[in-house]
Structure 1
Amino acid sequence: MSVVSGVHHVALIVSDYEASKRFYTEVMGFSVLAEHYREERDSWKLDVALSDGKQLEIFSFPNSPERPSYPEARGLRHLAFVTENIDASVHALEGHGVSVEAIRVDPYTGARFTFFNDPDGLPLELYELASL
């Protein structure tokens, strides 16, 4: 028996709260579940919902240190989102001025995928599942 039954949320710390809020709500299209300012920490916390019920928690903290992301730094490598139509998703992202890498094909699964970055340079992936 597994100790866990799934993923509930992923938490991100961002450098520019308003830019990240716009990116994840307007560009990515996630809906806001809750938004709170925590005065004692001088920190915003934004909970957004993905269409499958999973959540992202987006935090701002003053003077948070940068985390190395490239090349192949230890830690979270990237955050992957499922899409039913990668071509339409790429087109929508590029319509918001987001630079997206060329679409690749996973040699093991045959699935198409691509990468792009959030406003802090966090590597994000779009992964197309043909049988959604």
Structure 2
Amino acid sequence: MSFSVSGVHHIAIICSDYQRSKTFYHQLLGFKVLHETYRKERDSYKLDLAVDDHTQIELFSFPGAPERPSFPEAQGLRHLAFKTSKLDETVDYLKKQSIPVEAIRLDEITGKRFTFFQDPDGLPLELYEE
């Protein structure tokens, strides 16, 4: 028997302001809401969003969740990367939504273009050109 996977099912994110993050991921980035649950016993929301036909983001709210430092070279999750075939168009869209985007760079290994922006809690998000 061996370890066998066929892809990434979901990425779980705990946010500091549920409504602000829901607006960002659903309305600004356009990820489709699959299911939203309020768990009264935890005073917590869980929002399932479709990134594409295969990958989801689970957005959680937990009252009093501690902050996590998010520095580019800190240990732990470095960033979440989304692939796009329309990098320039997507960057222009984000800028029109008043979302700061770094300058587009070139991956010296793959020759592909990419850039970074952040979610409302400072989580680094990457756009990587297919």
Provide the TM-score with structure 2 as the length reference.
Answer: 0.96
AA aligned opposite 2:15:
V
Instruction: Determine if contact 2:8/2:54 at 8 Å carries over to the other structure.
Output: no
How far apart, in 2, do the equivalents of 1:86 and 1:117 lie? 16
Provide the secondary structure at the position in 1 that maps to 2:57.
strand
Aligned length: 129
Q: Percent identity?
A: 62
Cα offset for 1:32?
0.2
AA aligned opposite 1:60:
S
Cα offset for 1:72?
1.2
Residue 84 of structure 2 corresponds to: 83
Q: Which consecutive segments of 4 or more residues in structure 1 shift more than 3 A?
A: none
The correspondence of residues 1-132 of structure 1 with structure 2, limited to 5 A, is: 1-129=2-130
AA aligned opposite 2:101:
V
Cα offset for 1:53?
2.5
Per-residue CA deviation, residues 30-78 of structure 1 (Å, 9 max, x unaligned), is 0000001000111000000012421000000001101111141110000
Structure 2, gaps ≥5 residues long: none
Provide the secondary structure at the position in 2 that maps to 1:40.
helix
How much is the aligned-residue C-alpha RMSD, in angstroms? Answer: 1.0
Structure 1, gaps ≥5 residues long: none
Per-residue CA deviation, residues 56-113 of structure 1 (Å, 9 max, x unaligned), is 0000000110111114111000000001110000011111110000000000101000
How far apart, in 2, do the equivalents of 1:81 and 1:2 lie? 25
